[in-house]
Chains A and B, each alone.
Chain A
Amino acid sequence: MEEKTTNGNYRVIGTRPIRHDGIDKVIGRAKYGADYAFPGMLHGKVLRSPHAHARIKSIKVHKALKLPGVKAVVTSADLPEAPNRLEQAGEMAINPHYLSANILARGKVLYDGHAVAAVAATSPHIAEEALRLIEVDYEVLPPVMTVDQAMKPGATILLEELRNREDGDKQTNVAMHYQFKRGDLDEGFKAADFIVEREFETAMVHQGYIEPHNAVGIYNADGQSTIYCSTQGAFDVRSLSAQVLGVAPGKIKVVPAEIGGGFGGKTTIYLEPLSVLLSKKTGRPVKLVMSRGEVLRASGPTSGSKIKVKMGATKDGRLVAAQVWMAYEAGAFPGSPVGAGAMCIIAPYTIDNLQIDAYDVVVNRPKTAAYRAPGASNAALASETVLDELADKCGLDPLEMRMMNGVKEGSPQVVGAPFKRIGFIETCEAIKNSDHYKSKLEGPYRGRGVASGFWFNAGMQSSADVNIHADGTASVVTGSPDIGGSRASMAMITAEVLGLPVTDVRPLTADTDSIGHTDVTGGSRVTFATGMAVYEAAQDVARQLKERAAKYWEVKPEDVDFRDGVFSLKDSSSFEKGEGKPPMSIKELASKLPRLGGPISGRASVSGRGVGPAFATTCVDVEVDPETGKVQVLRCTVAQDVGKAIHPSYVEGQMQGGTAQGLGWALNEEYFYDDKGILRNTGLLDYRMPTCLDLPLIETEIVEVANPGHPLGVRGVGEVSIVPPPAAVANAIYHATGVRMAETPMSPPRLLKRILKKGAGEETQSAAAD
Chain B
Amino acid sequence: MPTAIIPSLLRKYTDGRERLEVRGKNVREVIADLKRQFPALIEHLIEDGDIKPSVAVSIDGEIAPAGLLERVRPDSEIHFLPALGGG
Known: A87-B53, A177-B9. A92 touches B87 (CB 8 A): no
From B8, B60, B62, B86, A179 is in contact (CB under 8 Å) with B8
* Structural contact, A417 and B85, CB atoms closer than 8 A: no
In the complex, chain A residues whose CB is within 8 Å of the CB of B79: 415-417
Find chain A residues with CB under 8 A from B84 CB: 337, 339-340, 343, 456, 458
Residues of A with C-beta under 8 A to B8: 179-181
How far, in whole Å, are A413 and B63 apart by their CA atoms in the complex?
A: 13
Alpha-carbon distance between A264 and B87 when the two chains are bound, in angstroms: 4
Among A93, A179, A416, A608, the residue within 8 A (CB) of B54 is A93
Interface string of B70-83 (1 = CB under 8 A from A): 00000001010111
- Asked, given contacts A264-B86, A522-B87, A719-B86, whether A417 binds B58 with beta carbons under 8 Å apart, the answer is yes
Q: Which residues of B contact A (CB under 8 A)?
A: 5, 7-9, 52-54, 58, 60-63, 65-66, 77, 79, 81-87
B63 partner residues in chain A, CB cutoff 8 A: 459, 611
Contact indicator B86/A523 (Cβ below 8 Å):
yes
In whole angstroms, what is the CA distance A418 to B53 when docked?
24
Q: Is the interface of A mostly helix, strand, loop or mixed?
A: loop
Contact of B61 among A263, A339, A420 (CB under 8 A): A420
Partner of A337, one of B52, B58, B85: B85
27 of the cross-chain contacts (CB-CB < 8 Å) are A86-B54, A87-B53, A93-B54, A93-B83, A179-B8, A180-B7, A264-B87, A340-B82, A343-B84, A370-B87, A372-B87, A373-B86, A373-B87, A374-B87, A417-B5, A417-B58, A417-B77, A417-B79, A420-B61, A456-B84, A458-B86, A522-B85, A523-B87, A610-B62, A611-B63, A709-B62, A719-B87
How many Å from the CB of A457 to the closest CB on chain B? 7
Q: Residues 453-465 of chain A: 1 if any B CB is under 8 Å from the residue's CB, otherwise 0? A: 0011111110000
State whether the Cβ of A371 lies closer than 8 Å to any Cβ in chain B. Answer: yes
Shortest B51–chain A CB gap in Å is 9
One of A207, A343, A370, A413 near B86 (C-beta < 8 A) = A370
Determine the residue in chain A with the shortest Cβ distance to B51: A88
Q: Closest B residue to A262 by CB, please name it.
A: B87
Q: Which of A323-361 contact B (CB under 8 A)?
A: 337, 339-340, 343
- Residues from chain B with Cβ under 8 Å of A610 in the complex: 62
Q: How far is the CB of A368 from chain B (nearest CB, A)?
A: 11
Contact A179 B87 (CB under 8 A): no
Is A525 interfacial (CB-CB < 8 Å)?
A: yes
> CA A93 – CA B5 in complex, angstroms?
23
Chain A minimum-CB-distance residue to B12 = A166
Chain A residues with CB under 8 Å of B53's CB are 86-88, 93-94
CA distance A416 to B53 in the complex (A): 21
Judge whether A339 and B86 touch: CB under 8 Å.
no
CA distance A706 to B77 in the complex (A): 24
Least CB distance from B52 to A in Å reads 7
A415 lies within 8 A of B81 (CB): yes
Return the contact of A267 from the options B66, B83, B87 (Cβ within 8 A).
B87
Contact pick for A417, options B7, B9, B60, B82, CB 8 Å: B60
Report the Cα distance A420→B79, complex, angstroms: 16
A455 to B84, CA, bound (A): 11
Q: Does A419 interact with chain B (Cβ within 8 Å)?
A: yes
CB pair B7 A179 closer than 8 Å? yes
Contact A374 B86 (CB under 8 A): yes
Among B9, B84, B86, residue most surrounded by chain A Cβ atoms (within 10 Å): B86
In the complex, which residues of chain A have a beta carbon less than 8 angstroms from the beta carbon of B7? 179-180
| Chain A residues, CB < 8 A from B77 | 416-417
A38 on interface, CB distance cutoff 8 Å = no
**How far apart are A76's CB and chain B's nearest CB, in angstroms?**
24
Question: Are A609 and B82 touching (Cβ within 8 A)?
Answer: no
Given contacts A416-B79, A417-B77, contact A524 B86 (CB under 8 A): yes
Are A179 and B52 in contact (CB-based, < 8 A)? no
B65 contact from A343, A415, A418, A460, Cβ within 8 A? A460
Whether A523 pairs with B61 at a CB distance below 8 angstroms is no
Residues on B with beta carbons closer than 8 Å to the beta carbon of A525: 86
Instruction: Compute how far the CA of A177 lies from the CA of B7 in the bound complex, rounded to whole angstroms.
Output: 12
Closest residue of chain B to A335, judged by CB?
B85
* Contact present for B82 and A339 (CB under 8 Å): yes
Interface set, chain A 250-272, CB cutoff 8 A to B: 263-265, 267
Asked if A36 is at the interface (CB within 8 A of a chain B CB), the reply is: no
Instruction: Take A413-B61, A417-B58 as given contacts and tell me if A263 and B87 are in contact as well, using a CB distance cutoff of 8 Å.
Output: yes
Residue A10, interface by CB 8 Å: no
